[in-house]
Amino acid sequence: MGYQQYGISPQLVERIKKKLKNPAIKERVKKLIENVDKHDLQDKAKVHKLVKSYGSILNEKLTATEEEQITKFVLAQKIDPSNTFHLIKLWSMFR
94 has pLDDT over 80:
no
Report the pLDDT value the prediction gives residue 1, as an integer from 0 to 100. 54
72 has pLDDT over 70:
yes
Among the residues of the chain, which ranges form H helices? 10-19, 23-33, 44-57, 64-77, 84-94
Report the pLDDT value the prediction gives residue 41, as an integer from 0 to 100. 93
Exposed, middle or buried by CB within 10 Å (0-12, 13-18, 19+), for 78? exposed
| Domain locations along the chain | 2-94
Region 4-24: what's the mean pLDDT?
Answer: 94
pLDDT digits over 17-28, tens only? 999 999 999 999
Q: What is the H or E stretch that residue 95 is in? A: none
Report the pLDDT value the prediction gives residue 87, as an integer from 0 to 100. 79
Average pLDDT, the chain: 91
Residues 6+ apart with CB under 8 A from 34: none
Report d(CA 3, CA 15) in Å as an integer: 14
